[in-house]
Structure 1
């Protein structure tokens, strides 16, 4: 995948998990709630309709405040690629203030190890800089660590 340094951020990790377990965690609300927000923040609600154009709606609790995020899936390659955005909501309705498109790439390195790449693609350099300043690398790194710790219990 070609990245644009002006608008894209990327985190890459090697996770000691099978690819299918990571996929299941990212596509199942009951699992997503355990890792998707860096603790002590939490994902309190999640709706998934796993198909292109299907809803990916979340509600986060951050320091006592609820943050609603509505979006859709754009592309799904089971076990390999998951793309979602808040640029549109269900029914392809344009969002008023979109923030990013997320691309999750999974590549099995062996049966119990996966190359995990998370890309945040932004509409302009300013939005990218804002996300980086908010702590993209630290936050998405914590999410990857929490995912790995949680999924080992499955």
Structure 2
């Protein structure tokens, strides 16, 4: 994948968990609740219809404020790649104010771990900068750390 430094944010990390387990965590609503937002914040609900065009909806709880996020899957390659966006909602209805498209890649790493890459694609350089200023690297890095810890608790 070719990144556009004007509109894309991305990082790669090796996680000490097998990719099949990380995939299960990313594709199961009950698992999403354990890692998807940096603690102490949480997920109050999650709906997944794991197919292209299927819904990926979450409700985040940020200090008691509920933030609904509705989106759809654009690409699904089992145990390799998930692409989802809030640009559309289920039924390919355009969102009024989309934020980003997320790409999560999983590849085998030495020792049974997983090379995990998270990418956020934005509509504009301004939207990308806003996400970076909001704490993309710290936030998504924390999510990766929480994902690894949660997945290891399931082993």
Aligned to 2:11: 11
Aligned to 1:20: 20
Q: Distance in 2 between matches of 1:92 and 1:103?
A: 18
Q: TM-score, normalised by structure 2?
A: 0.98
Is the contact between residue 102 and residue 119 of structure 1 (CA under 8 Å) also seen in structure 2? yes
After the TM superposition, list the runs of 4 or more consecutive aligned residues in structure 1 that deviate by more than 4 angstroms. none
Is the contact between residue 18 and residue 111 of structure 1 (CA under 8 Å) also seen in structure 2? no
Q: How does 1:38-49 map to 2 (within 5 A)?
A: 38-49=38-49
Aligned residues: 154
Offset at 1:100?
A: 0.1
Q: How does 1:124-143 map to 2 (within 5 A)?
A: 124-143=124-143
Q: Distance in 1 between matches of 2:112 and 2:29?
A: 23
1:3-54 deviation per Cα after TM superposition (whole angstroms, max 9, x unaligned): 0000000021000110100000000000010000000000110000000000
Residue 93, structure 1, aligned to residue 93, structure 2: yes
Q: Give the 3-state SS of the residue equivalent to 1:152 in structure 2.
A: helix
Provide structure 2 residue ranges, at least 5 long, that are not aligned to the other structure: none
RMSD of aligned Cα (Å): 0.7
Is the contact between residue 41 and residue 61 of structure 1 (CA under 8 Å) also seen in structure 2? yes
Aligned to 1:108: 108
Q: Distance in 1 between matches of 2:153 and 2:68?
A: 29
1:39-70 deviation per Cα after TM superposition (whole angstroms, max 9, x unaligned): 00001100000000000000000011000000
